[in-house]
Structure 1
Amino acid sequence: MTDTEVLFLRSDELSGLATPAEYVDAVREGYREVGKGAAAEPRTKLVNQSPPGMLTGYMAILPETGAMGGYTYAAGFGDKDAHFFLPVFDAESGRPLAMLDGASLNPFKTGAAGGVAIDELARPDAADLALFGSGAQARGQLRAAAAVRDIETVEVYSPTKAHRESFAGEMNEALDASVAAVASPDAAVEGADIVVTATDASEPVFDGEMLEEGTHITAMGQYDPDKREVDATAVKRAKYVPDLRARAHQDAGAFLQAREAGVVGDDHIHAELGEVVAGEAEGRTARQEITMFDSGGTGVETVAAAYMLYRKARDEGLGELLEFAPASDALTGQ
């Protein structure tokens, strides 16, 4: 066999290549396939003590999309930074298609998962959004939310006044919605139809008692048993939908801590997001329901978004071709 040509795509080539709506469409299809039985596993996380760091990977196979792969990334260590490798394989032949520098797409693919959840679980007329966080992930979540709902007002809260005001000013210019910084978590949550947490907080960022009936919550910083952006009250009050059921049991801190406190049991998991997208489980069934999407990052949105970007980049002539030898040639035994 001859070497396989693999398209290497740099982060700057991927930046701006697709719209938030295109990310949402790709990720919705990925979750639909998983809801119908396609394979996806939650992250494997290896922690290093000295120097402190984390090596993480997760994978998914999306047969109908035609792709499989996932992230491997290192964060922390001596470099005190993060580096994302994202291989994409053809799901039919198994041959590698692309290798992406996955940093720039991260907020958009994660935001797209939140967008899919809002589309499935939030009220159709949801227009007021409370946003916790003012970084890249918050930006990705907000852009995806605006792609699936006619957002009219956004209240942004983060602990640093200058950060939340700068973010609000930027997004007020970028979106049709009116985006404003607020001085407290209560001011953000009050009257909100959608609450999005996009933080690295270890403790809840708002009081679950403040949630009004009919609110949808997307909590995307939920990837460690010791971290939680939402409290046990919010978990208990909500119809609880994680990205993957296995991840909820593994590292969804808000759910695990609520379960440990005896507030909820394992049966509180209503369904995975993919099951709702695929019609295997109901989403919102009443206007007054509180719903929650617990997002910790999976290979589903990663592979779906990466394959969409690969196809667009290939059509536009972007990237650099590398050659990979198949094992039948490379495993010579010499």
Structure 2
Amino acid sequence: MTDTLFLTSDDVSGLATPGEYVEAVREGYRQRGEGAPAEPRTTLVNDEPTGMLTGYSAVLPETGAMGGYMYTAGFGERDAWFVTPLFDAESGEPKALLDGASMNPFKTGAAGAVGVDALAREDATKLAIVGSGAQARGQLRATATVRDLDSVWVYSPTKENRESFAAEMNERLDASVAAVASSAAAVEDADVVVTATNASEPVFDGDLLDDGTHVTAMGQYHPEKRELDAETIARATYVPDLRDRVTQDAGSFLHALEEGVVSEDHVHAELGEVVAGKAPGRESDDEVTVFDSGGTGIETVAAAQLLYEKARSEDLGSTISLSPASEALTGE
């Protein structure tokens, strides 16, 4: 039997700062750039009741951890549950099992921030964010750790939601955060644009982007979801989290491909290759860049290991026992 740490969502909530998530996730992507294994998500869709079962995984050898996410969404309860198993990368033994819900916006936001840090101009101070939910909060809080933001404009379709978001983030951040009445108003003059939506159609016109703008899109992980239009993809130096995702579920890229404005060669590099110095990031101040963040096991394992270490140092969580196959596979 092996003792394994079990961490509830309450155990890990607030356990790490946005900056700590960003540093852990950046290191994870560096390892991916050096060749660490990671696979895109696999999603199984159920028709009745409507729902999906999704999983993805990664191995981070230098972090000493491997694992990933498995989660359900929809079905009879019309809700979602996130489970994160974490294993030792040397022994293969289970280290922890985490309720992954509360860390989700922070680890995803950290991936977005690593993309901003690798691809946005160093002097970027003006940010537009489209979306006002938990993921938008995670993206903004993480991005504020990698750029000195002066102004943030937020748009989402529901006026009350965007105004509530702006009021909350105005209190939390040093930047001035204001709600605006359209995505066009948000994107105009922005140095960085972050989309955090579940949109099936583009949320802004790519012609509105100033030269030199960086875009992080994190809500497009299905062939029929596309936050970005073909113009944005065509204009940009395009960097996905995983190259193998691009023709699988990167909806904005797939639509641009179908429209004939790009080819598969339009992929510049994976984010990990840029972070590891294997490929250049931004090469000019007037370059438009895109980080397509569909979600991977890289940020999941990096964040889970961070939380595991912090929980152990603070004596949080409970212990469950798991049996190795040598003991459990008895055939009796």
TM class by smaller structure: over 0.9
Alpha-carbon distance, 1:249 to partner: 1.4
Whichever residue aligns with residue 155 of structure 1, its letter is: W
Q: CA deviation at 1:325?
A: 0.7
C-alpha distance in structure 2 between counterparts of 1:56 and 1:277, whole Å: 27
Task: Choose the corresponding residue for 1:232, options 218, 230, 233.
Answer: 230
Deviations 1:100-136 (A, max 9, x none): 0000000000000000010000000100000000000
Q: Give the partner amino acid of 1:205.
A: V
Report deviation, 1:327. 0.6
How far does the alpha carbon of each residue in 1:220-261 deviate from its partner, in whole angstroms, 9 at most, with x for none?
A: 001000110010000000100000000111100000010011
Aligned to 1:197: 195
What secondary structure does 2:161 align onto?
Answer: helix
Match of 2:58 in 1: 60
The 5 Å alignment of 1:94-173 reads 94-173=92-171
Q: Tell me the percent identity.
A: 70
In 1, Cα distance between equivalents of 2:247 and 2:105: 24
- From 79, 87, 92, the equivalent of 1:81 is 79
Letter in 2 for 1:235: I
SS in 1 for 2:222: coil
Which residue of structure 2 lines up, in the alignment, with residue 256 of structure 1?
254
1:45 aligned to 43, 48, 57, which one?
43
Q: Runs ≥4 in structure 1, deviation > 2 angstroms? A: none
Q: 1:90 aligns with which of 88, 91, 95?
A: 88
Distance in 2 separating the partners of 1:108 and 1:63: 22
After superposition, residues 158-307 of structure 1 pair within 5 angstroms as: 158-307=156-305
Alpha-carbon distance, 1:13 to partner = 1.1
Alignment partners' CA distance in 1, 2:246 and 2:311: 34
Deviations 1:195-241 (A, max 9, x none): 00000111000000000000000000010001100100000001000
Counterpart of 2:170, as a letter, is N
TM-score by length of 2: 1.00
List runs of 5+ in structure 2 lacking aligned partners. Answer: none
In structure 2, how many angstroms separate the alpha carbons of the residues matched to 1:144 and 1:84?
A: 21
1:168 to partner: Cα distance: 0.4
Distance 1:280 1:250 in 2: 24
1:274 CA drift (Å): 0.3
Q: 1:31: which partner in 2?
A: 29
> Which one-letter code corresponds to 1:160 in the other structure?
T
User: Matched residue of 1:93: which SS?
Assistant: coil
Q: CA deviation at 1:263?
A: 0.7
Supply the AA of the counterpart residue of 2:255: Q
- Secondary structure of the equivalent of 1:249? coil
* Partners of 1:95 and 1:244 in 2: CA distance: 26
> What is the rounded CA distance, in whole Å, between the counterparts of 1:14 and 1:43 in structure 2?
24
Secondary structure of 1:262 counterpart: coil
Q: Distance in 2 between matches of 1:248 and 1:179?
A: 33
Aligned residue identity for 2:122:
P
How far off its partner does 1:143 sit? 0.4
CA distance in 2, matches of 1:185, 1:84: 31
How much has 1:186 moved relative to structure 2? Answer: 1.1
Distance 1:214 1:173 in 2: 29
